[in-house]
Structure 1
Amino acid sequence: MTTAHRFSVDTDLGRIDLDTVHRWLSTDSYWAIGRSRETVQRAAEGSLNFGAFDADGALCGYARVVTDRATFAWLCDVYVDRARRGEGVGHMLARSVVDTIAPMQLLRVMLATHDAHELYEHVGFMPVPHPEHLMLLDRGSQRA
């Protein structure tokens, strides 16, 4: 069975178990350790969400996109259940994001990653050409 048949992606937030997403992000992601359940909920409600599901309907991955749906998007909180890593779930999520937002004709879609550059390059992302132009108002050290 191919990866495409073993997993599916849905953007219906009602299908995505946010308790599981919260557990993943708040306990096992390098970027959201300690994030509150309330923050996960508010973030999801303000975003375009992607849940990856196995053939039995169990959530095995998650991603969200923050976007104005006109000019810009930020891909974030991409997480694949440790038990499903190496099975193509991350690539499928990234491809689904790119395909879903393509009709929006956004000028820029950005993300940050410490260790998955190759995965994102396979779906069209590239390093920022002039990172010295980017600036940050970082309040992340104050709260997750």
Structure 2
Amino acid sequence: MDVHRNPYTISTDAARLQFDVIHDFLANHSYWATGISRETLRKQMEHSTLHFGLYDGDRQIGYAQVLTNYTSFAYLGNVFVLETYRGQGLSKWLMATIMEHPDLQTIRRWLLATRDAHGLYQQFGFTELAKPETIMEKFNDDAIRQ
């Protein structure tokens, strides 16, 4: 699936992804995956369900991945737009494209983790956990760097 807003494109074609751009941002510029190894990221991407690449012509400038069973659950992660492209509404467009994807319309529960983008995600219906007592987690921050 490709969606266009000149000169930009959002594509779910995994063959278009520019691994070096994604790895550089996540490993060196994100707070959630600092230091992620190339091998770990490659494995993560190989086992993700849907990739959304954001492009300026042929240059990748943003990314998001969705892990989903296409029926009831989806986890949204690794969402970013390169800093030089921020402030143009591209993250909102990326989120709208993800939420409107035809294969994701039956998802009952979406989850994501964010430290600083609550305002963006709230525009798309994300809230704090309604029943946090029903959600558990096991968190190992060191695992991503292995």
When normalised by structure 2's length, the TM-score is 0.88
How many percent identity over aligned positions? 35
Q: Residues of 2 paired with 1:89 and 1:40: CA distance?
A: 24
Determine the structure 2 residue equivalent to 1:49: 51
- CA RMSD of the aligned region, Å? 1.7
TM-superposition CA deviations, 1:20-52 (whole Å, max 9, x none): 100000001000001011111111111110001
Please tell me whether residue 132 in structure 1 is matched to residue 133 in structure 2: yes
Determine the structure 1 residue equivalent to 2:13: 12
Q: Residues of 2 paired with 1:101 and 1:117: CA distance?
A: 24
Determine the structure 1 residue equivalent to 2:101: 100
Q: Residues of 1 paired with 2:82 and 2:11: CA distance?
A: 16
Q: Residues of 2 paired with 1:109 and 1:63: CA distance?
A: 14
TM-superposition CA deviations, 1:53-88 (whole Å, max 9, x none): 11x221110000011112101000001101111111
Q: For residue 104 of structure 1, report the CA deviation from its aligned partner.
A: 4.4
TM-superposition CA deviations, 1:87-114 (whole Å, max 9, x none): 1121111111111156440110111111
**111-120 or 23-32: which moved more?**
111-120
Q: Residues of 2 paired with 1:17 and 1:66: CA distance?
A: 19
SS in 2 for 1:143: helix
Q: Flag structure 1 segments of 5+ consecutive residues without an equivalent.
A: none
CA gap 1:40/1:88 in 2 versus in 1, 3 angstroms: same
Q: Flag structure 2 segments of 5+ consecutive residues without an equivalent.
A: none
**73-82 or 93-102: which moved more?**
93-102
Determine the structure 1 residue equivalent to 2:80: 79
SS in 2 for 1:141: helix
Q: For residue 131 of structure 1, report the CA deviation from its aligned partner.
A: 2.1
When normalised by structure 1's length, the TM-score is 0.89
